[in-house]
Structure 1
Amino acid sequence: MSNALSKAKGFKKSKAGTYLSIGSTALGALSVAKQAKLARQEHDTLRLVDAAVSAVAIVTGLAILYRELKRLGDDDVLLG
């Protein structure tokens, strides 16, 4: 069980794992866009603020994942 857990943690820190995280975060962005559109149609300010905060969190998350991807790419250059 411990070996499987360490493999999962290793995948999360790999390029493939990072790309997967970027993809799932992008799918979350679609959900937030739908939430914002509905909030505007219903003139629901609170939901619109929630969507805006969520969008900022997604952008921040994508920036962190991009930085991690760049770092992984730099490591590959050093190892190769």
Structure 2
Amino acid sequence: MSKALSKAKGFKKSKSGLYLSMATTAFGAVTVAKQAKKARVESDTLRLVDAAVSAAAIATGLAILYRELKRLGDDDVLLG
């Protein structure tokens, strides 16, 4: 494995990487909200269901990232 790839994988599990992932995931929520609004205006039930499922996936993703952030914080306390 190259050094750059190893460093990138380490970043993904760092606090900064987790915050970036959370921000990116939250940004997706804006897109889903726009999709839901448009679906409501057009009375498009299928797109509204798609937006609801996407919103649930975003909420789950954020919860998982938050849990990882808490675990990383707990590890920091043990190391320090």
TM-score range, shorter chain: over 0.9
Unaligned runs of 5+ in 1: none
Q: Which residue of 2 aligns with 1:52?
A: 52
TM-score normalised over the length of structure 1: 0.98
**Separation in 2, partners of 1:2, 1:38:** 45
Runs of 4 or more above 2 Å deviation: none
Matched, 1:26 2:26: yes
CA RMSD of aligned residues (A): 0.8
Unaligned runs of 5+ in 2: none
Q: Which residue of 2 aligns with 1:38?
A: 38
**Deviation sequence 1:11-40 (CA, Å, 0-9, x none):** 000000000000000000000000000000
Residue-pair matches, total: 80
**Deviation sequence 1:48-67 (CA, Å, 0-9, x none):** 00000000000000000000
**Separation in 2, partners of 1:2, 1:54:** 35
**Separation in 2, partners of 1:44, 1:2:** 48
Amino acid aligned to 2:2: S
TM-score normalised over the length of structure 2: 0.98
